[in-house]
Chains A and B, each alone.
Chain A
Amino acid sequence: MINLLVCIIVLPALMGIISYFIQCNGIRRTFWLLTAILHFLLSLKAALMAPYLAPTLWIGIDALSTIFLPLSSLLFLMVTLYGIGYVKREPVEQQNDQEIGGLYQNTPESIFTGSLLLFLSAMSLAILSQHLGLQWMAIEATTLSSAPLIYYHRSKTSLEAAWKYLILCSVGIAVALMGIFFIGLALPRGIGDLTLSIILQHSGQVNTKWMEVAFILMLVGYGTKMGLAPLHNWLPDAHSEAPSPVSALLSGALLNCALLGILRIQQINAAAGMASFGQGLMVIFGLLSMGVAGIFLLGQTDYKRMLAYSSVEHMGIITLGFGIGGLGAFGALLHVINHSLIKSPLFMTAGNIHSRFHTKSALKINGLMKVLPASGILWLAGFFAIVGTPPFGSFISEFTILFAGISSKLWWVNGLFGFFLILAFIGMTGVFLKMSFGKTDAPPDKEHSISVLPAGILLLLALVLGIWIPGWLSNIINLAVQMLGNGAG
């Protein structure tokens, strides 16, 4: 088992380093695709073999990682299929684009692919690590490996975005490291080992005051990386300036890794009998993120920024769900899956739209359904999915969280939750509908199946989850909810 997990982490890292040195595009892309497929298969195998016992080593797979690992790996595979076509289309020579501040030249493809594979490795490590220090290191490594990806276009705006991303996330994560040290302080003297299983063993004797300080620091630190308001400033910039395959990964997979960092400490909180302290803070942060995102979604005309703010909103929904706890946590974990399955295809479709229209402004785009029929349908379906209309999975998960709030009699929380959902709905409806329909003279374009198929598959999965949640999935989610302190009510 442990060998398998090490393989999952080391394989993409090794391939990534090799990719930096391969000059031939064809070979490098084959390597990229092979790594993605192999990683996905290995992740599936690990998930199927997962013993669901609390791991005792530094890395291990438990119910939480069983949810996150195959999900990230699936997204990476789809992004790979899409991304190979994307980099093929991207010209090598210098280009001029007034919208992003004049001349720019793309990063060499070898650096792009190498960083992407290292990014996958860092994410896998962040998901599988059972040692708080190791997890911190992995999450910081995800920041570092994704910064060059954001700077792919080497334009002024992407430079600004990458700088903000690097500085804000590094500072945020340094705060989280302080939090980890405080957990060390909270433990009885002489333990000094931050492996999760050992902390959980001694959770009865922790100093609760220190734990509270530690939780606040880690929530703020990892919350920065997860895009929780008011620390979300970097997110719309980074997600809108990054090339579309990268945005799809950032929104769909990377935010989840930071969320997992917060969940790990909530796990300790729950074991120490202070789950409600953490939950209260998570409710506040969740609602705040939803509110801020809702406000910025109103009148947003840059469609990639709109998707980015929508990510802030959904991270808020997820945090709120964990804050409500019990059934809410069940809904939140389901929503993690749904959000990833929906937001990634939306970003990929946004990439298709951008390469046809060469603008990020929704005001200049009309009649997608006519010009790009396949992407148009995906764009519209993705819109219905992201705002949570049935029969998409996001409806079920949002409704579960709402229902959990009602049964816990959290009226004001529910009221705000509903209000912010409507706010986001209003903000996005106009843009999506105008882009999809509207009059246009542009002739229809043929689209490569490879640029729409991956997005289609992911959206289809989200649709399936809305109609039918397999028994094994709800079992795993229930197990994960129990780890966070309370069984599904």
Chain B
Amino acid sequence: MNALAVLLILSCLLILGSSRPRVAIQVVAVQGIFLGLLPILRSWEHLTAGIWIVGISGLVFKGILLPWLMQNVLQRTGIQKETAPYVSFGTSLLLGIVLLALSAWIAVNLQLPADASPVLTAMAMFLVLVGLFLMMSRRKAIMQTLAYLVMENGVYALGVSISLEFPYLVELGILLDIFVGVFLMGNLLFHLDRELQHTDVDKMTELSDLQTISSEPGRDA
């Protein structure tokens, strides 16, 4: 299980260093499969039907359906690579290692209860932090969607690491929410591409009030 955690951490570093959305989607898919296996491996000795359902559905949603959806969006919009992120890929990797150290430090200092695994918790924290970091440092809307997925994966892993089990109906509902969310994001991405001929988030400034104040006559004048 710790091996899985290490693989997940490595997969995050791969996303941080990659400029191609296609690669990032594939990595997120692998992450999803690992995450689906996680709850099953975690309670290997006392498996219940609920855990099977949660694990398998997590695997199907996160490992297959969501990446398939993203791949679809990518093909329809033909978004190329992330050319100029706010933070360059090399720096991103370095920062990733800092974030990793930070999440390990948090996990060690959390005074976790005995049955929660510190390695898994550190990994979960790392995923959440990387997701947030990607959200802020990438320009392309598709990378933001992927960042959201990475973050959501981290939150999921956190739930597994502290062995908190929701009733599987709720768990399925959460997965469905994420699925619909990514579906909508994909749909909007498609429209963004068509309407604005770009998917750069930093160019979406038509609605900013700060701009209205700084430019003298104002947007409405």
Contacts and interface: CB of A to CB of B under 8 A. Distances in A.
B151 A154 contact: no
Contact of B170 (A134, A163, A167, A299): A134
Nearest to B204: A160
B92 interface: no
Nearest to B221: A363
Interface string A375-404: 000000000000000000000000000000
Interface of B: 111-113, 115-116, 128, 132, 135, 141, 144-145, 148, 151-152, 155, 158-159, 162-167, 170-171, 173-174, 177, 180-181, 184-185, 188, 191-192, 195-196, 204, 206-207, 209, 213, 218-221
Nearest to B128: A178
Interface string A155-199: 011011111101100110010011001001100010010100000
Interface of A: 58, 101, 131, 133-134, 136-137, 140-141, 143-144, 147-148, 151, 154, 156-157, 159-164, 166-167, 170-171, 174, 177-178, 181, 184-185, 189, 192, 194, 209, 236-237, 240-241, 296, 299-302, 305, 360-361, 363
A352 to B, nearest CB: 19
Contact of B184 (A131, A160, A166): A166
Contacts of A164: 204, 207
B177 A161 contact: no
B9 to A, nearest CB: 18
Given A147-B188, A189-B115, A361-B221, 14 more contacts: A133-B166, A133-B174, A134-B170, A141-B177, A141-B180, A144-B180, A156-B206, A159-B191, A167-B148, A174-B128, A185-B112, A192-B165, A209-B111, A300-B209
Contact of B181 (A136, A144, A209): A144
Nearest to B135: A171
A156 B213 CA distance: 21
Contacts of B174: 133, 136-137, 140, 177
A163 B188 contact: yes
Contact of A161 (B192, B207, B213, B219): B207
A174 B151 contact: yes
Contacts of A171: 132, 135, 148, 151
A189 B170 CA distance: 21
Which one of B155, B192, B218 has the highest number of Cβ atoms from chain A below 10 Å of its Cβ? B155
A90 B203 CA distance: 30
Contacts of A101: 206
B184 A148 contact: yes
Contacts of A360: 220
Nearest to B191: A159
B164 A167 contact: no
* Dominant secondary structure of chain A at its interface with chain B: helix
B187 to A, nearest CB: 8
Which one of A137, A143, A161 has the highest number of Cβ atoms from chain B below 10 Å of its Cβ? A137
Question: Lowest 6 CB-CB distances: which A-B pairs, in order?
Answer: A361-B220, A184-B164, A137-B173, A133-B170, A140-B177, A237-B207
Contact of B177 (A144, A151, A237, A241): A144
Nearest to A185: B162
Given A144-B177, A299-B213, A361-B220, A181 B207 contact: no
Contacts of A300: 209
A363 B181 CA distance: 38
A425 B204 CA distance: 31
Given A133-B166, A133-B174, A156-B195, A296 B188 contact: no
Contacts of B111: 209
A181 B188 contact: no
B188 A302 contact: no
Contacts of B158: 178, 181
Given A170-B148, A174-B152, A194-B166, A140 B181 contact: yes
A170 B155 contact: no
26 contacts: A133-B167, A136-B174, A141-B180, A144-B180, A148-B184, A156-B195, A156-B206, A160-B204, A163-B188, A163-B204, A166-B185, A167-B145, A167-B185, A177-B155, A181-B159, A184-B159, A185-B112, A185-B113, A185-B162, A189-B115, A194-B164, A236-B207, A296-B209, A301-B221, A302-B219, A361-B221
Contact of B162 (A144, A151, A159, A184): A184
A160 B207 contact: yes
A186 to B, nearest CB: 10
A192 B218 contact: no
A141 B170 CA distance: 12
A189 B113 contact: yes
A275 to B, nearest CB: 24
A5 to B, nearest CB: 16
A167 B131 CA distance: 12
Contacts of A160: 204, 206-207
A151 B173 contact: no
Nearest to B185: A166
A241 B207 contact: yes
A96 B113 CA distance: 61
B166 to A, nearest CB: 5
A240 B112 CA distance: 45
A159 B151 contact: no
